[in-house]
């Protein structure tokens, strides 16, 4: 159960229409509420009478602190993706109402309605309070490394490109506000999300993805637009990683929990995992491609001449049992698609060289996807011992990125890796998420029996680099949507990179008379591997253009009598916010120049908009 308590001067709501079959009967009249507490409440799966009682206690305490006896319960389904079924949710809300009525004067907004509301919140520190009521869950498997991560002592610094290591409290962040947000987020170690981030609204509006209520939280459904974007990113990252020198493999998604090497590694990996029973045997679902790739590597005959040796897999899916308060939208999921590369190196010097190469590879890859250095912050994490022995190496990474980076220095190595870096995006809610990441692994070669024959004929254990070149594919989409939102706040046009736009060109004939001409032009554009559709619906031109704009279509071409005679289309270039006259050839050249050598997939839905179903 999640709730937000507002101490308000005034709150008004107006029921608009029923959203669900179980909606309560009510009048479509504006309701006013003044000088009291408004509680936005979301009922989640497994909530019960005890949950309602716990929230009631929180509200009683809150009302006592701010000195009011008035409360309005406002059912609100947008604080969680893990919703209880409507009938049960209404039952629990009524229980909450009954419990509150014992001490307070209670009103309640109708359940199951779309409502318009306005709110004026009082201006004091306690005026807005978030509450989360958690029931005890079944005992989950938690690795020793994850428990140690919570205990490890970290020292925080900023490292400048000139090599100056500055205590975090002494660094001047006046020119590095995004880095300051990132540092605060990392040091607080608070991962829970208390607001819905902007990208969630955008992923739904653009028909990319949505929550799947029939599955475990953190599992999404992808509509054709989303599947296309995801596929293109998967293809691109895979292609670039193979070009970098990796050999692609495919491995199982679940493994024997009692396998000696695997079980030991589980306890050195800082993540929560899923357990699956098959008969009387326990298996765990992979949370990365390490397991399968290591089991392949241990069976290989490897010479020092073969190193560095790179192995890659795009895991669809990897599974991590993230905590419920951290799961939101595309940012953090329980099932995700992870590009995962492992590199075997003969010694630490080769590992450091490859670590830096992959640092550069990550910068280049993100740049080609559509993310510049200014779009993310860098964190480098290592032990004090590693810093003492490798200062120049760490400083060279800061020089490579060309801006100050966050340093986390541990008093001891709590997991299998040392060092580690990530490129982190800071979103509209000041939450950070890792994209590219690389670690040097000191343990798993010996644990799994992965070895190579050195030039002196002796068996040796390699160092292993773990690299996700881009981070999870879903997270890349989240970052692109959040970046678009942040840019829109600066007055720019929100958009996806052109190569990822599901529809790159939309043709709008001014009447049915020009539909055949529109189809001929579309066919010509399609031949050049450009995604084009036609809005042939019985709507006004204005509405069609507006909807194309709202769908972030980069090029909107109107065709009528003038365009046919002049042989030039009137093309609305969304990025520039202007209309340009273009021949079909010029339009094709413009798009191909921007898209360059990126992967291509055909339009994911029928070309004619009149033939498409309406997605939720």
Cβ neighbours around 118 below 10 Å, total: 11
Rounded Cα–Cα distance for residues 539 and 223 (Å): 24
Over residues 367-377, the mean pLDDT reads: 97
What pLDDT score does 137 carry? 45
Structure confidence by residue, pLDDT tens digits, 523-538:
999 999 999 999 999 9
Q: What is the pLDDT, as a whole number, of residue 265? A: 80
Q: Distance between the two ends of the chain, CA-based, in angstroms? A: 25
Predicted pLDDT of residue 216: 87
Residue 442: other Cβ atoms inside 10 A:
17
Domains and CATH numbers, the chain: 2-132 (3.50.80.10), 155-163+175-248+294-481 (3.30.930.10), 498-611 (3.40.50.800)
Question: Residue 539: what pLDDT?
Answer: 95
Mean pLDDT of 207-223: 93
**Weakest mean pLDDT among 111-120, 132-141, 237-246, 335-344:** 132-141
In this prediction, residue 146 carries a pLDDT of 52
Mean pLDDT lowest among 125-139, 404-418, 566-580: 125-139
User: What pLDDT, on the 0 to 100 scale, is given for residue 126?
Assistant: 74
Q: Average pLDDT, stretch 468-473?
A: 97
Of 405, 374, 329, which is closest to residue 161 (Cα–Cα)? 405
143 pLDDT exceeds 80? no
Model pLDDT for residues 232-291, shown as the tens digit of each residue: 999 999 999 999 999 999 999 999 988 888 888 877 766 678 889 998 889 999 989 999
Torsion angle of the four alpha carbons 502, 504, 510, 513, in this order, in degrees rounded to the nearest 10: -80
Q: What is the 3-state secondary structure (H, E, C) of 510-579?
A: CCHHHHHHHHHHHHHHHCCCCCEEECCCCCCHHHHHHHHHHCCCCEEEEECHHHHHHCCEEEEECCCCEE
- Residue 141 confidence (pLDDT): 52
The per-residue pLDDT of the chain, averaged, comes to: 92
By DSSP bridging, strand 113-121 and strand 2-18 are antiparallel
Q: What is the pLDDT of residues 65-93, one digit of tens each?
A: 888 999 999 999 988 888 999 989 999 99
At residue 144 the predicted structure's pLDDT band, cuts being 50, 70 and 90, is low
pLDDT-derived band at 138 (thresholds 50, 70, 90) equals: very low
pLDDT score at 273 = 83
Task: Answer whether residue 25 shows pLDDT above 80.
Answer: yes
What pLDDT is recorded for position 124? Answer: 72
User: What was the pLDDT predicted at 149?
Assistant: 57
Prior bond to 568 cis, omega within 30?
no
| Over residues 46-62, mean pLDDT | 91
Mean of pLDDT values over 601-614: 96
Q: What share of the chain is helix, strand, coil (3-state, %, to 5)?
A: 35, 30, 35
CA–centroid distance for 574 within its chain:
25
Mean pLDDT of 363-376: 97
Q: Percent of the chain beyond pLDDT 70?
A: 96
Length, in residues, of the chain: 616
Asked if 315 and 248 count as a contact pair (C-beta separation under 8 A), the reply is: no
- Mean pLDDT of the region 584-608: 96
pLDDT at 500 over 70: yes
pLDDT at 139 exceeding the cut of 80: no
With a cut of 80, say whether residue 194 has pLDDT above it.
Answer: no
Query: Which residue spans within 48-171 are E strands per DSSP?
Result: 70-75, 105-108, 113-121, 128-132, 154-159, 165-167
Which pLDDT does position 21 carry in this prediction? 86
- Given pLDDT bands bounded at 50, 70 and 90, which one contains residue 125? low
Q: Which of 228, 255, 267 is nearest to 318 (CA)?
A: 255
The pLDDT tens digits of the residues spanning 148-181 come to 555 678 899 999 999 999 999 999 999 999 999 9
151-160, 290-299, 392-401, 477-486, range with the lowest pLDDT: 151-160
């Amino acid at each position: 159960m999640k709730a937000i308590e507002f101490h308000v001067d005034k709150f008004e709501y107006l029921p608009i229409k029923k959203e669900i079959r179980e909606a309560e009967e009510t009048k479509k009249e504006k309701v006013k509420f003044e000088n009291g507490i408004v509680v936005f409440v979301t009922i989640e799966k497994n909530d019960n009478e005890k949950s309602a009682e716990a929230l009631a206690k929180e509200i009683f305490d809150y009302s006592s602190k701010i000195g009011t006896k008035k409360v309005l319960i406002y059912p609100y389904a947008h604080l969680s993706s893990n919703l209880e079924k409507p009938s049960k949710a209404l039952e629990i809300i009524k229980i909450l109402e009954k419990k509150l009525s014992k001490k307070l004067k209670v009103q309640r907004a109708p359940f199951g309605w779309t409502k318009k509301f306005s709110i004026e919140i009082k201006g004091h520190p306690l005026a807005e309070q978030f509450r989360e009521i958690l029931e005890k869950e079944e005992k989950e498997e938690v690795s020793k490394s994850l428990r140690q991560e919570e205990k490890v002592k970290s020292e925080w610094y900023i490292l400048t490109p000139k090599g100056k290591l500055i205590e975090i409290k002494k660094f001047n962040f006046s020119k590095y506000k995004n880095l300051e947000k990132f540092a605060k987020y990392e040091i607080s170690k608070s991962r829970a999300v208390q607001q819905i981030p902007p990208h969630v609204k955008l992923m739904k509006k653009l028909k990319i993805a949505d929550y799947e209520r029939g599955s475990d939280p953190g599992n999404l459904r992808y509509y054709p637009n989303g599947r296309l974007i995801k596929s293109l990113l998967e293809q691109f990252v895979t292609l670039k990683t193979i070009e970098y020198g990796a050999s692609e493999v495919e491995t199982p998604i679940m493994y024997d929990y009692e396998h000696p090497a695997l079980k030991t590694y589980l306890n050195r990996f800082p993540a929560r995992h899923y357990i699956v029973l098959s008969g009387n045997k326990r298996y765990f679902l992979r949370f990365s491609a390490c397991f399968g790739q290591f089991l392949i590597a241990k069976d290989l005959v490897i010479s020092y001449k073969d190193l560095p040796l790179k192995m890659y897999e795009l895991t669809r899916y990897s599974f991590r049992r993230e905590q419920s308060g951290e799961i939101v939208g595309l940012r953090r999921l329980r099932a995700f698609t992870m590009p995962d590369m492992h590199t075997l190196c003969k010694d630490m010097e080769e590992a450091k060289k490859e670590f830096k190469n992959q640092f550069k590879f990550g910068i280049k890859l993100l740049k080609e996807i559509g993310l510049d250095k200014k779009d993310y912050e860098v964190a480098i994490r290592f032990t004090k011992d590693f810093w003492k022995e490798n200062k120049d190496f760490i400083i060279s990474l800061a020089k490579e990125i060309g801006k100050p980076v966050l340093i986390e220095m541990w008093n001891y190595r709590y997991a299998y890796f040392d060092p580690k870096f990530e490129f982190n995006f800071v979103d509209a809610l000041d939450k950070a998420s890792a994209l590219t990441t690389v670690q040097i692994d000191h343990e798993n070669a010996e644990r799994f029996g992965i070895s190579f024959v050195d030039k002196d004929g002796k068996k040796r254990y390699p160092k292993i680099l773990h690299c996700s070149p881009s981070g999870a594919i879903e997270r890349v989409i989240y970052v692109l949507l959040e970046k678009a939102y942040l840019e829109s706040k600066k007055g720019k046009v929100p958009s996806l990179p052109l190569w990822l736009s599901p529809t790159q060109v939309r043709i709008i004939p001014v009447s049915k008379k020009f539909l055949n001409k529109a189809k001929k032009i579309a066919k010509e554009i399609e031949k050049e591997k450009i995604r084009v559709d036609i809005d042939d619906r019985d709507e006004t031109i204005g509405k069609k253009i507006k909807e194309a704009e709202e769908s972030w279509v980069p090029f909107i071409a109107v065709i009528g009598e003038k365009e046919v005679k002049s042989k030039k289309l009137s093309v609305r270039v969304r990025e520039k916010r202007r209309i340009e006259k273009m021949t079909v050839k010029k339009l094709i050249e413009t798009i191909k120049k921007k898209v360059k050598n990126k992967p291509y997939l055909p339009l994911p839905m029928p070309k004619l908009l009149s033939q498409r179903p309406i997605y939720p």
